[in-house]
A and B are shown apart, each in its own frame.
Chain A
Amino acid sequence: MTVPAEAARRRIVELFLSSEESLLRRWTQLSGASPDDLRDLYQALRTALSSDAGDFADVRGLLAELSRARVRQGHTPSDTARLVFSLKEALYEAAEADGGPEALRGFVWFSRLVDDLGLFTFETYTAARERIILDQAEQLLELSTPVVKLWEGIVAVPLVGTLDSARTQVVMEKLLQTLVDTGSEHAVIDITGVPAVDTQVAQHLLKTVVAARLMGAECVISGIRPQIAHTIVTLGIEFGDIVTKASLADALSYALRRSGVEITGAAKTRVAVRAERA
């Protein structure tokens, strides 16, 4: 930093430090925030400015806290940033009263500092939001992919919601692991809850089926609604020799038959099931 800039900086810091009461009063007036919050901030700023190292960690910590508290009170992040920015106006009045060119030049430096701090509150806000969104996405991923056992040797994955690569990966891994753990030879992937099937989703489904097949298990896709069947055919997606069923019930009865379980009796009234072999 050049010598005049250094002098300007010292002058504005002096101004800032000397007129604590009036500055605080004006700042409170301009921002409409509680005087206690502002006093804490002011004191942290004063410590940071009077030390040579210029360590703003405390100020940033306070600002982050303030930003969080104000969001909880229903303020928008712009409000919080404006609160910080209004310190400039309060100090400008002090600088104007001083009138010296150094004070005004120093004010430019100070105003850049306040801008940074104001933007920091906004960043804190965004970071907090981002973290919440990430957490929720992760929770959603865990919640939405249960693998349920339908019968000895038959497991099902009821898929709900849109399939993307990340989710398919989780579903695939979970399903395959369950196949190993339970020694199941049949799996049903139910897509009743999948709103739309495009080429990408179909691709993901096919991959899962092929992977299960590689491990020695058979996969049935069920829950294909009429519109989805229509879309799949229109898109020209080939399911090849993969078994597809309209409903989970059909898929279950198919899997039961394949695993050697015989279903007897009138299906509509009562189902008696007898295992053919142990």
Chain B
Amino acid sequence: MERVPILKLGDILIVSIQIDLDDQSVLALQEDLADRVVSTGARGVIIDITAVEIVDSFIGRMFSTIAAITRMLDAETVVVGMRPAVAITLVELGLSLGGVRTALNLEKGVAMLEHVRDGAG
């Protein structure tokens, strides 16, 4: 099973998904991410899915689950770089990812988190 690396940049954790996700890696990612948020005290999480071409309902739900978990730990999750085909698939699957913030690319995602932090602090 491949593990997705989690990078730390300031108080933001960046997860760039470059592999074909299977259910096991998704579950592992959720656990790893929760651990890292707690250990680093991160205030924001960015999931970069620019390289993801195929999603199913399980992966779709993963975004919502991760967002819910990190929110419990006082960190905002932003999903960035979703491809049009992926967005269309998720809509057709009936998943609107309620509660998940989205941004067009990593840069805008970072800007969004900073904006949130400024607003809060």
CB–CB B108/A216 < 8 A: yes
Give the docked Cα–Cα distance between A179 and B86 (Å): 14
CB–CB B97/A215 < 8 A: no
Give the docked Cα–Cα distance between A213 and B78 (Å): 12
- A264 vs chain B, min Cβ distance (A): 24
Residue B38 is within 8 A (CB to CB) of chain A in the complex: no
Scoring B residues 96 to 121 as 1 if CB is less than 8 Å from chain A, else 0, what string do you get?
Answer: 11000111110011000000000000
CB–CB A216/B88 < 8 A: no
Q: A183-B104, A207-B91 are in contact. Are A216 and B84 (CB under 8 A)?
A: no
For chain A, residues 158 to 188, give those with C-beta under 8 angstroms from any C-beta of chain B: 169, 172-173, 176-177, 179-180, 183-185
- A126 vs chain B, min Cβ distance (A): 35
Give the docked Cα–Cα distance between A180 and B82 (Å): 9
Residues in B with CB closer than 8 Å to A184 are: 104
For chain A, residues 193 to 239, give those with C-beta under 8 angstroms from any C-beta of chain B: 207, 210-217
CB–CB B104/A216 < 8 A: yes
In this complex, how many residues of chain B approach chain A with their Cβ under 8 Å: the count is 22
Residues in A with CB closer than 8 Å to B83 are: 180
CB–CB B104/A179 < 8 A: yes
CB–CB B91/A185 < 8 A: no
CB–CB A173/B88 < 8 A: yes
Give the docked Cα–Cα distance between A157 and B102 (Å): 21
CB–CB A185/B104 < 8 A: yes
Q: A210-B91, A211-B91, A214-B91 are in contact. Are A177 and B84 (CB under 8 A)?
A: yes
Give the docked Cα–Cα distance between A11 and B43 (Å): 96
Give the docked Cα–Cα distance between A211 and B102 (Å): 11
Give the docked Cα–Cα distance between A172 and B103 (Å): 18
Partner of B87, one of A169, A183, A185, A215: A215
Residue B80 is within 8 A (CB to CB) of chain A in the complex: yes
Residues in A with CB closer than 8 Å to B109 are: 216
Give the docked Cα–Cα distance between A185 and B92 (Å): 22
Residues in A with CB closer than 8 Å to B62 are: none
Give the docked Cα–Cα distance between A234 and B6 (Å): 50
CB–CB B91/A215 < 8 A: no
Give the docked Cα–Cα distance between A61 and B86 (Å): 47
CB–CB B88/A180 < 8 A: no
Partner of B102, one of A169, A173, A180, A215: A215
Give the docked Cα–Cα distance between A173 and B96 (Å): 17
Residues in A with CB closer than 8 Å to B84 are: 172-173, 176-177, 179-180, 211, 215
Give the docked Cα–Cα distance between A217 and B96 (Å): 13
Q: A173-B84, A180-B83 are in contact. Are A214 and B97 (CB under 8 A)?
A: yes
| B107: nearest chain-A partner, CB-CB | A183
| B89: nearest chain-A partner, CB-CB | A211
14 examples of A-B residue contacts, CB within 8 angstroms: A169-B88, A173-B84, A183-B104, A184-B104, A211-B91, A214-B79, A214-B97, A215-B87, A215-B102, A216-B78, A216-B79, A216-B82, A216-B101, A216-B105
Beyond A176-B87, A183-B104, A216-B101, 4 extra complex contacts between A and B, CB < 8 Å: A183-B105, A183-B108, A211-B88, A214-B97
B residues neighboring A (CB under 8 Å): 78-80, 82-88, 90-92, 96-97, 101-105, 108-109
**Ranked 8 nearest A-B pairs via Cβ:** A176-B84, A216-B102, A216-B103, A211-B87, A214-B87, A216-B104, A211-B91, A215-B82
